[in-house]
A and B are shown apart, each in its own frame.
Chain A
Amino acid sequence: MKIRTFAAAAAIAALAITATGCSGGTNSGSSDSGGKTLTYWASNQGTSLDNDKEVLTPQLKKFEDETGIKVNLEVIGWNDLQTRIQTAVTSGQAPDVLNIGNTWAASLQSTGAFMPFDSAAFDAIGGKDKFVKTAMDTGGVPGQDPTSVPLYGLAYGLYYNKAMFSEAGLTPPTTWEEMVADAKKLTTGDKYGFSLAAGSYTENSHFAFINAAQNGAEFFGADGKPTFTSAGIVDGISRYLDLMQTDKVVNPANAQYDNGTQAINDFANGKVGMVLSQNNADSSIASQGMKNDAYGVVAFPAPTGGKDVATMVAGINMSIFKNTKNKDAALQFVKFMTSEATQGVLDKSFAALPVLNGVKPSFTDNAEEAKTFADIYANKSKPLPLVAAEDQFESTVGKAMNQMFAKVASGGTVSKSDIKAALTTAQQAVEAAG
């Protein structure tokens, strides 16, 4: 009898373990029923995940001191972030507050998993009008309450090496044609005019967009349907590929650069004269030992007669998961993170542009660089398509560009009809998922 009882107890214990195994960890984000603990997923902005923790922890401590709300921080690398968000949306095991790439805002909004910022929510975080319009435009689908608010502003600029330019007797380019001519002069021996993250699908999709926008072409029609194969897009992508294919001012080895840092390192180490990067490159360049006065920045130039689009509106937004049990605390936290005081500290550490009206850029001590980036961001930017399929555009078009660069790098040629065929495939994949 004793043995039987023991066996039964063991069986029940095993049952209990299975049961808790299933339910364990649900809503780990908001386990504290008192509403005193928030979970926050931060995207990697600094030079490493640890660097992000070092920057954010004192701010979170300050927030806790002010409000009594503790914040559990997790910093997530860029390559993992999108998958982590998808998993969180699917499983419901989500943080209370998180960072998203602002270009994903409309896509993530369509999942319905994020809290819309209605007027009450905006009041709670200090009003919609405190944000720069360019940044606020990326919050979500136009005409609906946005599901994200701006946190860090970023923009692409064309970084150039001052010493290399003056040695070659060059001035910073103002048109695409000048840029290519400069790059050709800088390409000698093992040095190249440019480095590109030609194996990074996110960067590639951004430049597909920017080059197409310079031609006045759109990736999505007014009805939200993809229009990837229009002539302006094919020409824009062809122009960008030609930097490696026809102009030969980019080292074919760049086709393996699957993140922006590798291209920036080439620039900081004097291997190339120019690099296209977002303004947060400053911290990476400095970490490689290149001084701030050794380089200048101008807007990424459009071809003569093209539209003056130099960047998409890049940056990071903040969202609140709809099923958070700590909505008020979450709103307080968003208010804190988007306050002038916190922004001042974070913009400087992460080399970000201000997303608040009337705030001066603090990401660099170089006034000229700050002015250039502020101008690009406010006047020469265009948001990526604010449609639900935006992230599909990024992955399908970006990967198609990776493959085209790979083909060029390994000695093949990519014609305009090849580009059109690749874009047709990308478009069909987006349509099939729609």
Chain B
Amino acid sequence: MSAVSASTAVKKSGAAAGAPGGKARKARRKGWWLPYALLAPAVIFELVIHVIPMVTGIWMSFLKLTKMFIANWGNAPFIGLKNYAVALDFNSAVGMGLLKSFGITVAFTIIVVGLSWGFGMAAAIALQKAFRGRAVFRTLFLIPYALPMYAGVIAWKFMLQKDSGALNHLLFDNLGLPGDKPFWLIGDNAFAAVVVVAIWRLWPFAFLMLMAGLQSIPTDVYEASAVDGAKPLRQWWAITLPMLRPINMVLVLVMFLWTFNDFNTPFVLFGGSQPPAGDLISFHIYNASFLTWNFGSGAAMSVLLLLFLLVVSGIYLLFMNRRKDNA
């Protein structure tokens, strides 16, 4: 996208330079290739990094790309929309599995983004006023975000073990909860486990963005409203939220996309074999592609996921922009 708009800009300026007089035209003839040469790297990078893999992925979704063909996948037979039909046939195991995974992912995304935003907002407001040790808290809060993903999630994996994990040790041995220690990483609790770890990873980002946003709101607005008798909650609703609107728009969208596509958290937390309750969609598609060597079907599922995310993001942006216009 950026490459396209840049090239039109250069074309315009090139045409403008070439318009008056023969001398300029001559100069243009001599160095006509330069703008293109300068743009070429950007265009090529854009092609290599985004366009070609995307087009390849979409093309793959129309192929019968099983193990019989992956060694030379140019020869894989074209089967049209069959991969999509299988993925969307909710009477079959494959379609049903995808649908279930989709439902789990929607619930996961709503909870994780909602709570991460809430925690981030609460922490950002709590650390807004200067106090002794504020820098320490800010640093502590950002640790999950700064840690390498793998190290952080592996630590959770150890903590969530049934018999040797720190969580069950705390709950049952120290706090004396009655009953048997539960499993966290297999069975139905797996959903709670992956939600907690994902929030742990995500909320510092919300905190960081909202903290920066809060600092950009002039303090005299609050002072004026205080004079008018506004309580903190009212101030938050009437001043903070509207002023943070541009940041929140981007923040929520980005967190939504990241969380919906989260692959690393379940992959590291559950290893190669995910429990059904923690079967998030990126991981599900990975398994569908790699475990059954059916890359065409995996590609079709990825395209469906992409379409869904595009539609949701589009509606979100439209809705948010309209509200902004009305305001």
Contacts and interface: CB of A to CB of B under 8 A. Distances in A.
Interface of A: 4, 7-8, 11-12, 14-15, 18, 21-22, 79, 83, 86, 89-90, 92, 107, 110-113, 199, 201, 253, 255-256, 258, 388, 391-392, 395-396, 398-399, 402-403, 406-407, 409-410, 412, 424-430, 432-434
Contacts of A21: 48
B9 interface: no
A397 B222 CA distance: 62
A255 B31 contact: no
Interface residues of B, number: 44
B93 A429 contact: yes
A407 B92 contact: no
A199 B94 CA distance: 22
B73 interface: yes
Given A253-B163, A399-B273, A410-B186, A113 B71 contact: yes
Interface string B79-113: 00000001000001110110000000000000000
B67 A111 contact: yes
A430 B292 contact: yes
18 contacts: A8-B38, A15-B41, A18-B41, A89-B67, A89-B70, A110-B68, A256-B161, A256-B186, A258-B273, A391-B293, A392-B292, A399-B273, A402-B186, A407-B187, A410-B186, A410-B189, A412-B187, A425-B96
A4 B293 CA distance: 51
A392 B188 contact: no
Contacts of A424: 93
A396 B162 contact: no
A199 B290 contact: no
Given A83-B290, A111-B70, A433-B292, 12 more contacts: A15-B40, A79-B271, A90-B73, A90-B295, A111-B68, A402-B186, A407-B187, A410-B186, A410-B188, A425-B93, A425-B97, A432-B86
Nearest to B33: A8
Contacts of A86: 70, 290, 293
Contact of B186 (A395, A409, A428): A409
B37 interface: yes
A11 B37 contact: yes
A255 B183 CA distance: 9
A88 to B, nearest CB: 10
A388 to B, nearest CB: 7
Contacts of A256: 161-162, 183, 185-186
B174 interface: no
Contacts of B291: 392, 395-396, 399
Nearest to B83: A432
B258 interface: no
Interface string B173-191: 0000000001101111100
Nearest to B186: A406
Nearest to B48: A18
If over half of A's interface residues share one DSSP class (helix, strand or loop), that class is named, otherwise mixed; here it is helix
A149 to B, nearest CB: 20
B12 to A, nearest CB: 20
A114 B94 CA distance: 30
A433 B66 contact: yes
A258 B271 contact: yes
Contact of A199 (B38, B186, B189): B186
Contacts of A110: 67-68
B294 interface: yes
Contacts of B163: 253
Interface of B: 31, 34, 37-38, 40-41, 44-45, 48, 66-68, 70-73, 86, 92-94, 96-97, 161-163, 182-183, 185-189, 271-273, 275-276, 290-295, 297
Contacts of B96: 425
A113 B276 CA distance: 34
Given A90-B73, A406-B183, A428-B93, A388 B41 contact: no
A258 B268 CA distance: 13
A434 B67 CA distance: 9
A399 B68 CA distance: 23
Contacts of B73: 90
Interface centre among A90, A107, A429, A432 (most CB of B within 10 A): A432
Contacts of A12: 37
B66 A434 contact: yes
Given A11-B37, A90-B70, A410-B182, A18 B93 contact: no
A7 B38 contact: yes
Nearest to B189: A410
A388 B273 contact: no
A427 B161 CA distance: 31
B272 A201 contact: yes
Nearest to B296: A433
A433 B294 contact: yes
A14 B161 CA distance: 50
Given A110-B67, A409-B187, A433 B297 contact: yes
A395 B67 contact: no
B40 A11 contact: yes
B42 to A, nearest CB: 9
Contact of A8 (B34, B44, B86): B34
Nearest to B185: A256
Contacts of A89: 67, 70-71
Contacts of B186: 199, 255-256, 402, 406, 409-410
A255 B68 CA distance: 34
A402 B274 CA distance: 9
A410 B162 CA distance: 11
Contacts of A403: 275-276
A216 B283 CA distance: 36
A11 B45 CA distance: 12
Contacts of A258: 271-273
Given A392-B291, A392-B293, A432-B294, A90 B71 contact: yes
B77 to A, nearest CB: 13
Contact of B37 (A8, A388, A395): A8
B177 to A, nearest CB: 16
Nearest to A425: B93
Contacts of A253: 162-163
B92 A428 contact: yes
Interface centre among B37, B188, B276 (most CB of A within 10 A): B37
Nearest to B160: A256
B68 to A, nearest CB: 6
Contacts of B38: 7-8, 11
> Which 10 pairs show the lowest CB-CB distances between chains A and B?
A428-B93, A14-B41, A410-B187, A406-B186, A113-B71, A433-B292, A433-B294, A395-B291, A425-B93, A11-B37
Contacts of B188: 410
B273 A199 contact: yes
Nearest to A411: B180
B3 to A, nearest CB: 14
